[in-house]
Amino acid sequence: MMTIHFKRTALAAVFALLAVNTTTSLAQAPAASPPDPAATSVEAMGWMKGFPPPPDRLITFDDPAGGVFPRTRWSFSHVRETVPTANVWRGSGVPSPLPAAPRSDLEAVTFKPLGSEETLSFGQMIPRTYTDGILVLHRGRVVYEKYFGALTPERPHIAMSVTKSFVGTLAAILADEGRLDPSAPVTRYLPELKDTAYGDATVRQVMDMTIGVHYSENYADPKAEIWDYARAGGMLAQGPNYTGPKSFYEFLATLKKEGAHDAAFAYKTVNAEVLAWILRRASGQSLADLLSEKIWRRIGAEQDAYFMVDRIGTESGGGGLNTVLRDLARFGETMRNGGRAPNGQQAIPKAVVEDIARGADPAKFAKAGYALLPGWSYRNMWWVTHNPHGAYMARGIHGQSIYVDPKAEMVIVRYAAHPVAASAGNDPLTLPAFQAVAEALMRP
C-alpha cells in the first residue's frame, strides 16, 4: 500500500521540477556548456539497473537527488513508482488509429536556431534538447516516432505544465456545456476564496492567467511562496513544529492580491490549481474522473493516464499529469481537427478549439516579457503563436510540448528531460525546428 507521508521527501524533489518558473527565469539563457546528452543518458549512467541496482545507481523515494538531472532522465518516466497517483481511465473502447506513414527525410530538415547563424538539422535537435520521445503527425498519420533512454511507447512520462492545457480545455468544455460561466466571479464556485486575491477575480481571468496575485516561483529565494505551496501540499517536509496550511486548498486560501486583474498576463501555477478546484466544484467530480469522461475516453486513448496527487489525494492540476506519447499525440490531433478525434468522434466541441486557436490579447501577453515569444498570447491555458500557420502549443518545463500547426496539418508531441527547466533551454532549437518540419511537410 502506498503511504503518502512516507514519500514527502521524494515529492519535494519531483515538485521542484514540476512548477514553472517566473518570467525572469523563463527568460534566462541556458547554460553555456550543457551536459553531454550521450554521457548523461540512462544507458550511460546505469540508473536503476540490476536486481537490486548498485547503491550509487539507485533512485529512491527518500532521495532528493531523484528529481535532479541526470536522474530525471529516468525519473520523469517512472513517476508512479515514486509518488502516489490518481488514475485517468481510458475507457473500454478500441484505441483510435494512428496509421504509420514514415518519412525518412525529416531528420535532414534544416533550420537556424533563434539568435544564431548556425545551421542544424531536425535530427541534431533531438539529442541536443535531451529528448525522451518525439512523434510527428501529418494529416493524422505518424510520419516520425522515436524513443530514447527510459521512455518506451507504452510507458507514461510526466507532462509537467502541459497539464495546464488539459485543465484549461476542460474548463472551456464545461463552459460550452453551460456548467461553468467564465464571466462569473470565482467566488460563485469557491466562496472560500472571498478574502484572497481571487475574491474580485473572474473565472475567465483565471483561465487566461491575468490574475494579480502575490506569489513567487523563484527557486533561488528560500522565502518564495513556491516553497509554502510545496509544504502545504506535503511535497516538502512540514516538520514537527509546522503550523502553516496542510493542503493545496488551505494554501490557496492564503493568497493575497498584488496589482490589478486583467491588466497583464502573469504565468503562475497557482492559477491552474484554482481553476482545477473550480472544475471539481462545478462538475462534482475529481479532476481525474472529469478528464477521463470529457477527453481521455473520447479521443480513444490506448493507455490510462495518471495524475500526481498531494497529501490528501488532490490531483496536481498545475503539472502532475502523466501520459504515453501516442496518447498525447491523439489529443493534439483532436485539437488540430477542430475537436474531432482520430476515431471520428467529436470529442471536444468545435467552438472550444476555435476559441483557443484564436488566442487572447497579445498586448497583455507582451507585458510578461517573453523575449523569445513576440506576438504570442495565452488562452484557456494554451500558448498561441499568432504566426502565419496559426500554430498553438501546450508547454511544460524541461521540454514537454504539444505543437499544433493547422496550416501544415501537423502535430508534434515531445517529452524530454532537459537539464534547464526554463523554456529558453529548448525554445531556440525546438521552435524553429518545428516550423521547419511544418514547411517541409507542406512541400509537394
Q: What is the mean pLDDT of residues 51-70?
A: 82
CA–CA distance from 348 to each of 87, 233, 443 (Å)? 21, 31, 30
Higher pLDDT, 10 or 63: 63
> Is residue 353 within 8 Å of residue 173, measured between CB atoms?
no
> Is residue 386 within 8 Å of residue 392, measured between CB atoms?
no
Q: How far apart are CA 146 and CA 179, in angstroms?
A: 40
Confidence grade of residue 68 (pLDDT, cut at 50, 70, 90): confident
Q: What is the mean pLDDT of residues 95-106?
A: 97
Catalytic residue among 161, 165, 283, 401: 161
pLDDT digits (tens, 9 = 90+) for 339-362: 999 999 999 999 999 999 999 999
- pTM, rounded to two decimals: 0.93
- Concerning whether 165 is annotated as a catalytic residue, the answer is no
Give the pLDDT confidence score for residue 257 in this predicted structure: 97
Which of 220, 347, 354, 371 lies closest to 292, judged by CA? 347
In sequence order, the 6+-apart residues with CB closer than 8 A to the CB of 41 are: 70, 73, 148, 149
CATH class for the region spanning 5-97+156-173+271-379: alpha beta
Give the pLDDT confidence score for residue 19 in this predicted structure: 37
Which set of grid coordinates corresponds to residue 20? Answer: 514553472
Q: Find how far residue 121's CA is from the centre of its chain.
A: 26
Q: Is the predicted pLDDT of residue 225 greater than 50, yes or no?
A: yes
pLDDT digits (tens, 9 = 90+) for 191-213: 999 999 999 999 999 999 999 99
Give the pLDDT confidence score for residue 193 in this predicted structure: 98
Domain edges within the chain: 5-97+156-173+271-379
Q: What are phi and psi of 119, to 5 degrees?
A: -110, 125
